[in-house]
């Protein structure tokens, strides 16, 4: 794992290309995009992981994250053709940044699906 660069972005300590923000979520462009559109939907409140998130009373927050994903997919013009949302969790999931986030990828036909 690398340090929590997303908390640094949220605190203004690290520059990022922010495409959306509200009280609960910021959406930034991934620094190493894996598709023409690669956005990261990041909760403002810090959760290291989905495991961490489940421990608190955060009912509805992840649902709101999906609403934000839908909104920015439309904003980016990829909603009609489609996109993929991914949460990498833990070592086997390949998570690198210890701050819960949802990847939104689109803008081209995406690579092979892990789930058939
Ligand atoms: P994970 O593997 O944790 O699910 O994804 C972390 C993502 O954060 C990666 O896609 C990586 O490219 C992105 N990332 C890492 N450091 C930075 C950064 O400083 N700024 C931005 N915008 N994205 C970052």
- In sequence order, what DSSP letters do the residues of 14-73 get, joined into one string? S---EEEE-SSEEEEE-SS-SSSEEEEEEESS--SSHHHHHHS--TTHHHHHHHHHHHHH
The answer to whether residue 74 is domain-embedded is yes
The answer to whether residue 70 is domain-embedded is yes
* Domain total of the chain: 1
pLDDT in tens, 55-111: 988 889 999 999 999 999 999 999 999 999 999 999 999 999 999 999 999 999 998
What's the average model confidence in pLDDT over 41-45? 98
The answer to whether residue 111 is domain-embedded is no
pLDDT at 7 over 90: yes
> From the candidates 74, 92, 101, 103, which is the catalytic residue?
101
Confidence at residue 47, expressed as pLDDT on a 0 to 100 scale? 96
Q: Phi and psi for 73 in degrees, rounded to 5?
A: -65, -40
Ligand 1: residues with CB < 6 A are: 5, 14, 16, 28-32, 40, 88, 94-97
Q: Which domain holds residue 98?
A: 5-106
> Which residues is 23 bridged to in the sheet?
none
> Which residues is 46 bridged to in the sheet?
none
pLDDT at 1 over 90: no
The answer to whether residue 75 is domain-embedded is yes
pLDDT at 23 over 80: yes
| Burial environment of residue 100 by CB neighbours within 10 A (0 to 12, 13 to 18, 19 or more) | buried
């Amino acid at each position: 794992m690398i340090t929590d660069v997303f908390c640094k972005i949220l605190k203004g300590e690290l520059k990022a290309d922010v495409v959306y923000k509200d009280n609960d979520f910021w959406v930034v462009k991934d620094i190493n995009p894996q598709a023409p559109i690669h956005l990261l939907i990041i909760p403002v409140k810090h959760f290291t992981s989905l495991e961490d998130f489940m421990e608190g009373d955060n009912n509805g927050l992840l649902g709101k994250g999906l609403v934000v994903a839908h909104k920015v997919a439309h904003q980016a013009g990829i909603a009609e053709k489609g996109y993929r949302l991914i949460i990498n969790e833990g070592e086997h999931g390949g998570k690198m940044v210890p701050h819960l986030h949802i990847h939104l990828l689109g803008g081209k036909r995406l690579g092979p699906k892990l789930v058939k």
